[in-house]
Amino acid sequence: MKPTLANVSIPLPFDRLFTYSIPDELSDLAIPGARVMVPFGKKFKIGYIVDCPESTTLPAIKPIKDILDPKPVFTEEMLKLCTWIADYYMAPLGEVLRSATPAGLIGESKRTVRLEKNPPQTTIEEWRKRSPRKAAIIHNLQQHKELTITQLQKLTRFENIYVPVNELAKEKYVSVFDSLPRTHIKPKTVTFIRLNTRDNTGDDIRNHLTKLEGRAKKQAAILAALLEQHEDAGLEEKVLIQKTKSSKSVLKTLNERNLIVIEKRTVSREEYDDTAPPEELELTLHQKSALQLIQQAIDSGTHQTMLLHGITGSGKTQVYIEAIHHTLTAGKTAIVLVPEISLTPQIVRRFRAHFENDVVVFHSRLSEGERYDGWKRAREGKASIAIGPRSAIFAPLKNIGLIIVDEEHEASYKQFDSSPRYNARDVAVVRAHLNNSVVLLGSATPSLESYNNALQNKYRLIELPERINTYPLPHVHIVNMRDERKVLRTDSPGTMTSISRILRDHIRQRIGKKEGVILLQNRRGFSPYLICLDCSYIEECSECSVTMTYHKIKNHLRCHYCGRIRKPPDMCPKCRGIRLVYQGYGTQRVEEELQALFPDARIARMDMDSTTRKGSHNRILSRFESGGYDILLGTQMVAKGLDFDHVTLVGVISADTQLLLPDFRSSERTFQILTQVAGRAGRSTVEGEVIIQTNFPDHYSIGHAMTHDFKSFFEEEMKKRAETHWPPATRLALLEARSTGEQAGALLLENMCEKLNQTLPSDSIVLGPSPAALARVKNLYRFHLIIKSSKKTDPTAKMLRESIRRAFPKKLPGDVKIIIDIDPYGVL
Ligand code: ADP
Ligand code: ZN
């Protein structure tokens, strides 16, 4: 018997399916996964068919109006995955399906229909009688040749025309294609100057340089600057002119004397666009045995999760690449998740080099059209590898053999700011399970969760305990800034206190030797506090309970949560005192002090403020790599994934920014960022060193980072988590109320708390409701209820979710919103 009903999920903030009947003409296309247009209230909405129950008696319900795509958007596998996400993360299925749909498909389809050949007149006559919509479509196309679906709907006055259009396409009278807005990326060319090494030896040029130094200073300066560059790398014309304060005419003279070459080079607009030939590397023994285990797992055709714990610089990426080769050879496909694609240009470039067009990259800076193209290439099997941030876990690949999650500990895998609040790392495990395939989680600093799973044999642990070429890990010094600051204040009156003497001396030595220096200060802006010395008043955002950060470059105070901007006051608004000072250090202020200490140093600051323009992040990095900067100073952006072999010194201006946050993951994140940034040093023959400045030199996360001792950190932290009942010792759910009035949210949570206590297993713990650490954001009060449930009594968290469902208010007052976050990354 044919199914006659369709259960449809519509993206709405509540969890419910709506049942429609399937009209006869749609019965072939109305299958699970199809995108449909359905009547909803007085309007029409787009939804997804979830299942088609059979029914003999047709209830009086409305029919589906139209089917939007010739093939369903979701396969059965994806429907299952999305259903799991909706259930586990307690998000409406419609919202999950919507976030799994490629951007280009979400809005109104811009599908275009073109007339390919005229049907015989007799056929048209026939249609006029039996299929007036087809006749009308052909009639209009004969006049206009090409029309969008929307235009056709208007001209024919038929709204549901997808089905007749699809039939006409099958009969080859028309063709259908997508005409989404697309940005055409033209190659961009830039003028570069390099030494003419074909006609001159290095000595020739140095001779010229000496001669020119007396009488043609600018020409000499240019030659000197070019001699500093790596071999034939050269410099951008603009940069060179700026640096040497010269002009195009000077360049012309040097060109005429055959000393330099002026050439146009194409540069990429996108960091990953430039392709380099792949590095063919002989794997090390550790890499080989890791790869062997992974290959066996892939070949076994059964699901398995593997945790690749490889110290920084141990060659994890090469293992990923080889594992993917193996997957493709076996005729399967692979997904690679990376934390933030704009921050990982190097890794994407390496994948491109190896797999070229077999890769689709999903990137938030792509246009809708480009993203949709990528999605289609993956779905049609034209590409077998999808790389991207967390949403790439929804890539429509078939026959998945391997899912890699690089830097699996990263917070960015968790969607925290909108529903569904999923963690792509954990979804990867579920998707792999559905496909009988392998998940490879990789990190130098695994999350407590994953490492714990590995120790309990849920995941298979694979280790890369050595750096490539057995380069040693850098030596780490800890500087106690409490003592150091006292000395600095007497040494250099004024406020030069962000850089200790030892760090200063080491920077001087390293830049003297033209070695690279990376400095981490994980806070942007100039200073995080404007404080009144007389009454201790601190300037806060009027909408959020956070201090306003001073940005010296723009001379304003800015809230980093809501973006509100204010002029700094001249006088304390509370006591009218005038002794207002900026306290604390952001990257801008550290940059200023560095520049004062090293007037000749070329310093690059990399943070969210200096990388707003497309490609600027990559520009800074490639200039640093080619020696155009001496010091790279930045926020966590400089801590991750970078592989520069000239970097020998890494300094951490303050290790304490994260440590002081009231969150159960503060120590873990501190250990991770210190280990990761330290890992940037000493990636070649010159030994690296790391200097960490802190007010808490005895803290265990700093101590274990100093000795590069992940296992000891893990054991100590795990013990703490067990004692205080935080994950992975327990399972966590966070309920957050946001309300305009201060009391409404708290009251609601109190109610829920009571109900939860009645239904939760007795060994669960409910904390709160209490004001969140950030008690107010964008003028909404935030209250938290934290639920810790026991993994023993409730291993799959089923009871936890069921209790929350039952405690959830049937109806919410208009001014309160409740957010459910299962496995939250943090509780701030
Ligand atoms: P990780 O991701 O573990 O920090 P990478 O994969 O970036 O390490 O490798 C560090 C460096 O070592 C890279 O420059 C890479 O090209 C190089 N490398 C990796 N494997 C090998 C190998 N087998 N032989 C030589 N060099 C290698
Ligand atoms: Zn604010």
Q: What is the pLDDT of residues 775-793, one digit of tens each?
A: 999 899 999 999 999 999 9
Distance of CA 338 to the CA centre of its chain: 7
**Ligand 1 atom closest to 287 (CA):** 23
Strand partners, 603: 631
Determine whether the shortest distance from the Cβ of 571 to ligand 1 is under 6 A: no
Which letter does DSSP use for residue 108 in this model? -
Give the mutation target among 280, 311, 344, 643 for probing the ligand 1 site: most ligand atoms within 8 A of CB: 643
Predicted pLDDT of residue 187: 45
> How far is 802 from 88, CA to CA, in rounded Å?
10
Residues 6+ apart with CB under 8 A from 408: 307, 425, 441, 442, 443, 446, 447, 450
The token duo for 506 is 């080491």
Query: Cα of 773 to ligand 2 centre, how many Å?
Result: 14
Query: What are φ and ψ of residue 224, in 5° steps?
Result: -60, -45
Query: What is the C-alpha separation between 588 and 333, in angstroms, rounded?
Result: 45
Contact of 402 with 440, CB cutoff 8 Å: yes
Ligand 2 center to 740 CA (angstroms): 15
From atom 4 of ligand 1, which residue's Cα is the shortest distance away?
313
Residue 159: CA atoms inside 13 Å, Cβ hemisphere, count?
9
Q: Report pLDDT for 242.
A: 84
769 close to ligand 1 (CB < 6 Angstrom): no
Please, is 510 exposed, middle or buried when counting C-beta atoms within 10 Å of its C-beta (0-12, 13-18, 19+)? Answer: buried
DSSP code, position 392 = G
| 284 CB near ligand 1 (under 6 Å) | yes
From 707, 310, 697, 680, select the one nearest 520 (Cα to Cα). 680
Whole-number Å distance, alpha carbon 776 to ligand 2 midpoint, is 9
Q: What is the pLDDT of residue 57?
A: 67
What distance in angstroms lies between residue 550's CA and the mean position of ligand 2's atoms? 13
Amino acid in the structure at residue 665: R
Mean pLDDT by 10 residues, the chain (828 residues): 81 87 83 90 87 76 83 93 97 93 64 88 90 90 86 83 84 78 50 86 86 86 84 80 88 91 66 58 95 97 97 94 96 94 76 89 76 86 94 96 97 94 98 97 97 97 94 94 86 73 96 95 91 90 87 90 89 91 92 94 93 82 93 92 90 93 94 95 89 96 96 97 95 96 93 94 92 90 95 92 93 91 94
Helices (H), 626-740: 656-659, 666-678, 700-706, 710-724
b/e sequence 260-295, b meaning 16+ C-beta within 10 Å: bbbeeeebbebbbbbeeeeeeeeebebbeebbebbb
DSSP state string for 207-225: HHHHHHHHH-HHHHHHHHH
Tell me the β-bridge partners of 236.
192
Query: Which of 285, 468, 675, 677 is the pocket-test mutation for ligand 1 (most atoms within 8 Å of CB)?
Result: 468
Please tell me the distance from the alpha carbon of residue 100 to that of residue 86, in angstroms, as a whole number.
Answer: 12
Cβ(312) – ligand 1 distance below 6 Å: yes
| DSSP secondary structure letter of residue 386 | E
- Centroid of ligand 2 to alpha carbon of 340 (angstroms): 25
Protein residues within 5 Å, CB atom, of ion ligand 2: 541, 543-544, 559, 561-562, 564
Q: What CA–CA distances, in Å, run from 591 to 126, 225, 498, 629, 701?
A: 78, 24, 10, 13, 27
Residue 643 Cβ < 6 Å to ligand 1: yes
State whether the beta carbon of 318 lies less than 6 angstroms from ligand 1.
yes
Give the C-alpha separation, 763 to 700, whole Å: 30
- pLDDT tens-digit series, residues 451-486: 999 999 999 999 999 999 888 899 999 999 999 988
Residue 313 beta carbon below 6 angstroms from any ligand 1 atom: yes
- State which amino acid sits at residue 225: A
Amino acid at 201: T
Chain centre to alpha carbon of residue 93: 23
What are the distances in angstroms from CA 754 to CA 546, 651, 739?
Answer: 31, 50, 20
Measure the CA angle with vertex 612, ends 611 and 614; round to 5°.
90
The stretches of 43-176 forming alpha helices (DSSP H) are 76-88, 93-100, 103-106, 121-130, 132-144, 149-156, 162-170
For ligand 1, atom 17: residue with the closest CA = 315
* Cβ of 315 below 6 Å from ligand 1: yes
In total, the chain counts a number of residues equal to 828
Say if CB 726 and CB 447 are below 8 A apart. no
**Ligand 1 test: best mutation among 280, 281, 311, 443, most atoms within 8 Å of CB?**
281
